[in-house]
Every structure is written in structure tokens, then in C-alpha cells.
Structure 1
């Protein structure tokens, strides 16, 4: 019965995309925006009215919203700030967006149609329509999705080949969607720091042996953390590191804090940059541990790693769980300047859109990419021109382990993406894309950066081009 209902939902989404989008908005809009507003109100009550931090003021110590202490960075090194108390509203926001992302994935059905579906080029669509013109009874979209092995396929999508079936020929979908006159003002993307399996990952067995010698960070929402976490882990969900006070749809909403603020928040977790840090989440989430690692790398922390397979791997290895709230002793930590070449900006993407040798990878679900739903109430629906859709789950195994470098290369090869390609990865607000960016670095794709402001910022600017299926 559950599967039947899922298939019926998938069919209704395909047959009536606009109706489904409206339904999704009705179900989630009020709850998400209410939680975001609650977060702002709660945060401002705690800080006496914190202000949003503009890009032009990033180098100045801004009002600390819910930061551990409202002191200049220099004095903070001498008198470390106390850890910030967990913000219930922030945890609620994180839980809401997780649930809405799960709904989006479920809406795509159990046939795997949310994995790696890419917009066809105009030429491909014309060819498909011509070949289907003589068909007496085309197969309905819902039936095709319910039986993915059937010969008929939706006219506007092509499936990414598996790692075994990957072919070197790259489809031309990217160039077909890019507006004329692009790129506007191209500039080269610089290669970032390389990663290896050893530099980025630890196993559950390794952690069991070394647990007393590391700082553990649970990157999941507080509700999941309190339900059971690895003993000794402090909790820092994605909202801990992000500016949630800014207006949604702006360049500042959901992006990482400026250096001075971030340094205090990292120090409040007991991270001094010397002791190894291990971040973890769960295999079925957004890859929040990758977001944490991406931030720590920019903060100059080279000995930060991810627990491969997350808390599920820990439990499978016989690891125990605790339910107490851990607060590490605050330590002094400073960031003079973020390490470059991790973050792509809206301006850079807009200037380089359509440039040969640039690949834009949308790691959201297929319904989000196609503009069928806006689970986080983005101002517009769709995807960036020329972007290909390879959802985050394609880069990991069912257990949440990183796929091998060879498998990642084979996944990207059909799109002409090589280690020389410049890659921008994006999702809604940068969490999933940060995870994939770190995974790409490990797989040898050093010219890869995460769009931190994300689709919500791009969609929030009506002057920027957008594609909707």
C-alpha cells in the first residue's frame, strides 16, 4: 500500500507539476517561514537585537548574533568566549528543512528517478519528439517511472549512466540553456588543496581506538544529537556556522560567518587547530559533516576529518551511544583570513556562466532541479542555466561511504568533466554542495568550489537567468 501511494504521488507530480508545486508550498511554506522567523526572534532576544552582517563588513567584528561572546577577536584570544547555548529555534529550522528535503526525495518515487536526471538539449527533445510521433500509445510518465526498465522514457530527461556504463561522450545540454552573450567577464578558477582518503576520512574502528585523542563534532540537528550521539561529541548543526539572521533570498542568508565570528564559534567547540577533529552526521542526511569539514579547512585546520558512514557505521562497529549534552572547554582560536578557493560567489558564477571548461553541478533532488517544488520557499523555482543534476546521493554508497575516486570519475565522465574542468557545486544553501566539494577534492577534482549562498540567493535575484522545465 505504501509503495502504491508513493507511485500515485509520483504520477501526480509528473502529470501536474504545477499543482504538485502548489501543494508542496501549501504544506511547507508556513512551517518553514514560521520557524525561520522564530529563529530570528529568539536569536535577537538572546543578543539584544543582533544585526545582519553585510559582505562589505565581513572583515570587521560584527554583532555576534548568538556567538559565544561579543568581544573583539584580539581580546577573545586572551579571554576565550563561553560556548553558546543551543538555540532551540535553530534546531527547529534544521529539522524542518530536513523533513522538507525528505518529502522532496520521496515525491520522486522509489524508482530512483531523483538520481542524476539532466535536462535534455533542444536538439535531443526535438529528436525524441520526432521519434515518438508515430507511436500510437505513448507510455504514461508515471508508468514509466514505476517500471524503469520499460523501453519508453520521459521525453525531457536522460538518465546518467552508472559507473560501469559511463561513456566518455558529453551531452550538450549545458550550452543549450545558457543565454546568448555569455560568459560576461570570465576569469580562471584556481585549484584548491588536494585531499586523499587518509586526509579526509576515518573509519569507525579507527575512531574507537583514538576517541580520547580527538575532538568529536556531531553535525546533526540537536534533536537527533540528544536522541543518541557518540560519547564525548559536541553538537554543531549547520545553522551553528551560518548566518540565519539575514533575509532569505539574499546573498547573506545561510552563508558562513566572517572570520572573527567563526573563530569564536570554532573555539567554543574546544577546537584549537592542533588536536584532530572528527565530524560526523548520518548516512541519509545532507552530508552535514562535509559542510563542517569544508568550513574547518577554510579556517586553516588541516587535521579535520569525516567519520565515514556516520553514526550508522559507529553503531555497526559496536560503538556505544550517549544522551548527555557535552560542552567542551572553550579555547582560543583565530582566523586571519579564510583559505581561498573553496567558495564560488554569485558574481563569479554570473561572470563565467557559459564559459568553455566550466561545469555547474546541481546536487539537489530532481524535483527541485526541474522546478516542480520549492521546499525551502526559494523566490523562484528551477536551476541555473547549463547546470547538470547529479544529486548528492550519487556520490556515496548506500552505507554513506564515499565512492572510490574511479567511480566518481566515471560518474562525471559522460558530461565531459575531467580533473582539469572548473567545477561549481550548488544546492539550496550550501550544505549538500560543501559535502560534494570535499568529496570531489578527494577524488582528484581540485578545481571544485561550493556555491555557499546557493540557489536560494540566485533565485532571489530576479535579474539572474533561470531555467524551469
Structure 2
């Protein structure tokens, strides 16, 4: 191939990539997200893979059995044990910085990596890992919208053999403690109208009709507001538009001018998804209640409401 043809081919490739990226950005901007960069589509991720981005690291946040049945090319597997604290006073708490650094480093991830996380479809576990990366100072992390199901629906390439990369150099260098709130602070603000506790569990859990393992009591935190975590999703697990999501929250009195909005659930997983949804539409006053219902219900000194 002569030089002129090679230059034309390169220029055409650049134009195609630019057009594709523009369409992806437009699709998210049409939904009105203030922070559309938190999500990535299957088509956009596939384009990145085809262009062999060496800094790109993909994390599969499903259990190992599902990972071995099929996963994205180059994806490594991480599950809740890799990013939870086994010695926490309640189950599911965020992993300590040193332990998280070691687990992430083992997966070949570096401090300058562009990280994409995905789960089966809803983004619930991907959002949890996204939140932890962000708490620990790594900003360049996105969620594959629609997860593995969407990737498969687009008929993009999958792999079965596990990926064992060389060790990375990831180290937690910063901690955004302001993104976390504990039980004592929640208790101190039970009557504060500008401090919203957002309960993202099911209605049955919120009403005290049922609960999950690890919680000794059923019920809810007094004055908490209920909106189930998946209310913000369409049937195909993509996010609704910003206007639709904001309406859902504002109808519950959860507005951007509140002093604090603290999502919670059973162990902080569903809460992380709601944290992400609020971030997408530009809410900034967010603190995840990581101890969540397991933590609150385990303390007999804290009040509980039912129905």
C-alpha cells in the first residue's frame, strides 16, 4: 500500500471513530444526563477494544461460574469478596484501602487505567464497584450500560478462557470520606428535613414485612424515604432519561437543594446504584450509608419503624 492510500485510510478511520463517538455522546446527552461519561455503551466499548487501547481494563462483576460461561474479551473477574471487608462489624462494608489495592493490583489494573465494569444486566454490582473505585480516588471508571446481556444482544465477541494478566501497580492514594456516612450521623439527623435517608430496598423490606440475612430486626429508619433502586431503569436495564429520573426523586421530595442525600439498602449494594443514578443527573450532595439496614438493625439503641 502506497503512502497516499495509507494516509487516506488513516483519515477515514479517524472520521468514522469521531462520528461514532459523536453519536454515542449524543445518545446520552439526549437523555439529559449531566454526567453521561459515567456510562459506556456496548458499541462504544467494542470500538475501544478494536482500537487496542492498552490502558483499557474491563472488570466482570459477576460470580465466577457466570464469568467462566462467557465474558467480554480481556475481562478479569472480581466478586464481592474482592471489594468487601471480611472483618467489618457488619457484612458487606467497603474493603480497607490496602486490601482493595492488593485485590485490584492482582487483576492487572494500574493507577492510570481506564476501567470499565459490568455485571449481568442491571448494573447493581457494577455500580457498587464503581462507587468503591471512586471513593478510593480513581475517577476514570465507567459502567457498561445493560451489562453482559446487552453485549451479547449486540452479538459482540465473548471469551470463555479466564484472563490472568500481569500484576498492575494500582494503589489507593486518596480516600473520599465525604462519600460515606455512618449510623451515628444518620441517628443525629433523624429530624433534619434537609438530611434525606433514601431507602432503596423493596417495599416489603421498607414496611418491615421481610428482611434478608444478617439483619436482626425488620423495618426502616424513621423518616426515611422509599424509592426502590431499579425504579430508574427501563425494561432493557438502560437508564431512563434524566427528566424521568429527576421526576421520580422530586416527587418524593428528594431535591438537589437538600443538605445530604444518603442512599441505603441492606448492605450498600442497591444504594450504590441509586448513588450512581443521582450522580448521572447532577446531584452532588450524596453520602452512601454503607452500614445500611444490617448496621442499623444490629444496634438496639437505634429506633425502627414498621408500616
Shift of 1:197: 0.5
After superposing the two structures, state which structure 1 stretch, 200-209 or 401-410, moved more: 401-410
Shift of 1:253: 2.6
Equivalent residue number for residue 302 of structure 2: 464
CA distance in 2, matches of 1:327, 1:383: 43
Identify which of 402, 405, 408 aligns with 2:239: 402
Equivalent residue number for residue 450 of structure 1: 288
Equivalent residue number for residue 150 of structure 1: none
Identify which of 285, 294, 297 aligns with 2:131: 294
Residue 209 of structure 2 is aligned to residue 367 of structure 1? no
Shift of 1:368: 1.3
Shift of 1:406: 1.3
Equivalent residue number for residue 272 of structure 2: 434
Equivalent residue number for residue 308 of structure 1: 145
Identify which of 207, 211, 226 aligns with 2:68: 226
C-alpha contact 1:218 1:229 (8 A) present in aligned 2: yes
**Aligned CA distance change for structure 1 residues 457 and 236 (closer, same or farther; 3 Å):** same
Residue 45 of structure 2 is aligned to residue 207 of structure 1? yes
**Aligned CA distance change for structure 1 residues 289 and 195 (closer, same or farther; 3 Å):** farther
CA distance in 2, matches of 1:450, 1:195: 20
SS at match of 1:360: strand
Residue 86 of structure 2 is aligned to residue 244 of structure 1? yes
How big is each residue's C-alpha offset from its partner over 1:423-450, in whole Å with a ceiling of 9 and x where there is no partner?
A: 1100111111112102211111111121
Structure-to-structure mapping, 1:6-45, within 5 angstroms: none
Equivalent residue number for residue 193 of structure 2: 356
Residue 157 of structure 2 is aligned to residue 320 of structure 1? yes
How big is each residue's C-alpha offset from its partner over 1:283-338, in whole Å with a ceiling of 9 and x where there is no partner?
A: 24x71000111011112111110001111111111112222222221112222331
Identify which of 416, 422, 437 aligns with 2:253: 416
Identify which of 35, 51, 63 aligns with 1:196: 35
C-alpha contact 2:82 2:100 (8 A) present in aligned 1: no
After superposing the two structures, state which structure 1 stretch, 334-343 or 365-374, moved more: 334-343
CA distance in 2, matches of 1:342, 1:403: 24
CA distance in 2, matches of 1:273, 1:336: 9
CA distance in 2, matches of 1:395, 1:233: 27
Give the alignment's TM-score, normalised by structure 2.
0.83
Identify which of 261, 264, 272 aligns with 2:102: 264
Shift of 1:195: 6.4
CA distance in 2, matches of 1:244, 1:207: 33
**Aligned CA distance change for structure 1 residues 255 and 377 (closer, same or farther; 3 Å):** closer
Q: Mark the structure with the bigger radius of gyration.
A: 1
Shift of 1:239: 2.6
CA distance in 1, matches of 2:72, 2:173: 32
Equivalent residue number for residue 184 of structure 1: none
Structure-to-structure mapping, 1:69-84, within 5 angstroms: none
Shift of 1:275: 2.0
Shift of 1:245: 4.0
Number of equivalent positions: 270
Equivalent residue number for residue 387 of structure 1: 224
Equivalent residue number for residue 59 of structure 2: 217
CA distance in 1, matches of 2:243, 2:177: 27
CA distance in 2, matches of 1:450, 1:207: 28
Shift of 1:238: 2.3
C-alpha contact 2:114 2:141 (8 A) present in aligned 1: yes
Shift of 1:269: 1.6
CA distance in 2, matches of 1:454, 1:220: 22
Give the alignment's TM-score, normalised by structure 1.
0.55
C-alpha contact 1:259 1:337 (8 A) present in aligned 2: no
C-alpha contact 1:238 1:431 (8 A) present in aligned 2: no
C-alpha contact 1:379 1:460 (8 A) present in aligned 2: yes
CA distance in 2, matches of 1:427, 1:270: 31
Q: Where does structure 2 lack aligned partners over 5 or more consecutive residues?
A: 1-32
CA distance in 1, matches of 2:182, 2:281: 23
SS at match of 2:287: strand
